């Protein structure tokens, strides 16, 4: 059966994105493949096999258009409040902490925006979000 | 440390998307939360904890704009050729099989497009793509 193993986003500035994803989520380069016109960079951390693939197109000068369809990648963390404080202290500019609940469904989270404008949801681990 | 747990896409027609993701990847509803203005649907299969979250905004009438930044979700499968044949037989309209290699990096894959236009890469399991 199909197993979800990564998602890919195109980014404008490789080093800027590497810095962000390392500082924000501990993601490091698992593999980097450099072609003539583009590079593929697979980022991972020890928490999951699921990777984030960055594509850097070498002739891309304009910011990518992100549209209004794709939403976000989500990560879970052990201590949401501590992470929010850390993001703030490290000038990662997190959005405010929020909550959403409906019946037995409950989520505490904040969003943060990566250097290209992609949104990432940081969720308190628990319930649906393990 | 942060653990990647899901990605979210906005879809126009819930049933159309549920049918596609079930037939293509065996993804079933793990949880569905229905708010006044929108629904959140978490899809999963037994292969991984990573989930696909669909957001259905109830007042959305126009197709979503997908932009040119977000790339794809990728899944790995045991037998790429068999999956390509199955997708073809089931009228899921997969793109042709392709290969990409560079030094020790090697990938065999095909792409398929979901009902909203999101691209999914189906990769032969192995190497980087376990």
**pLDDT at residue A12, as a whole number:** 98
Q: Number of Cβ pairs closer than 8 Å across A and B?
A: 180
Residues with pLDDT less than 50, chain B: none
- Contact between B61 and B14 under an 8 Å Cβ cutoff? The reply is no
Residue A115 pLDDT class (50, 70, 90 cuts) = very high
Find the distance separating the first CA and the last CA of chain A, reported in whole Å: 22
Q: Report the chain B residue with the minimal C-alpha distance to residue A7.
A: B73
Q: What is the DSSP code string of B51-89?
A: EEEEEEETT--SPPP--SSEEEEEEEES-HHHHHHHHHH
- What interface predicted TM-score (ipTM) does this complex get? 0.96
pTM comes to 0.97
**Residues of A annotated as part of the active site:** 121
Domain positions in chain B:
1-59, 71-130
Amino acid A6: pLDDT? 98
CATH architecture label of B71-130: Roll (3.10)
- Is B128 in Cβ contact with A3 (below 8 Å)? no
Confidence of residue A8 (pLDDT cuts 50, 70, 90): very high
- A104 contacts chain B (CB < 8 A): no
Q: Among 3.40.50.300, 3.30.497.10, 3.10.180.10, 3.40.1180.10, what is the CATH number of B1-59?
A: 3.10.180.10
The rounded distance, in Å, linking the Cα atoms of B22 and B90 is: 12
Q: Do domains A1-60 and A71-130 have the same CATH topology?
A: yes
The one-character DSSP state at B130 is: -
Closest residue in B to A36 (Cα) is: B102
Tell me the pLDDT band of A40, cut-offs 50, 70 and 90: very high
Task: Kindly report the CATH class assigned to A1-60.
Answer: alpha beta
């Amino acid at each position: 059966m199909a197993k979800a193993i990564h998602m890919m986003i195109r980014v404008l500035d490789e080093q800027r994105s590497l810095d962000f994803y390392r500082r924000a989520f501990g993601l490091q380069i698992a593999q980097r493949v450099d072609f003539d016109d583009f590079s593929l960079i697979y980022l991972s951390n020890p928490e999951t096999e699921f990777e984030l693939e960055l594509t850097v197109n070498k002739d891309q000068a304009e910011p990518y258009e992100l549209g209004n369809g794709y939403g976000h990648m989500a990560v879970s963390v052990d201590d949401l409040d501590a992470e929010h404080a850390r993001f703030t202290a490290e000038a990662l500019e997190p959005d405010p902490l929020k909550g959403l609940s409906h019946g037995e469904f409950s989520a505490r989270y904040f969003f943060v925006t990566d250097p290209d404008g992609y949104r990432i949801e940081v969720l308190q681990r628990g319930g649906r979000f393990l």
